[in-house]
Amino acid sequence: MVTVLDTVPSPKDRWALFSRASDVLALAQIKSKGDYEQHKEAIDAILSTENAALLQVIGLQELLDRVGAQGTMRKKDDAVPKPPSHDEEST
């Protein structure tokens, strides 16, 4: 029996990983120059904003689910008979 693992992470996870890695590297560089304490407030604000943005990023499966749900809703809307227009009533 062969076990196959899905080794392709979602784009959202990869983006979060690389974003956090670049943050860690930038912080290490700032700290090594001795500039961290001077800019700590601004750095914290930037990191908080980025974390909030990453939380709002949806994954591929969620995107597909949303698109599928909208397609289902459109099909239901198409199935509902539309009332006749005024032109059709007078004939």
CB 39 within 8 A of CB 30: yes
Q: Which residues contact 1 (CB under 8 A, 6 or more apart)?
A: none
Give the integer Cα–Cα distance in Å for 20 and 13.
Answer: 11
**Domains in the chain: boundaries:** 12-79
- The span from the CA of 80 to the CA of 73, in Å, is 11
What's 10's DSSP letter? -
* C-alpha 36, offset from chain centre: 30
Range of weakest confidence among 2-11, 14-23, 54-63: 2-11
- For the chain, report the end-to-end CA distance as a whole number of angstroms: 71
- Which tens digit of pLDDT belongs to each residue from 21-80? 999 999 999 999 999 999 999 999 999 998 888 777 777 778 788 888 887 766 665 655
Element (DSSP H or E) covering residue 75: helix 60-79
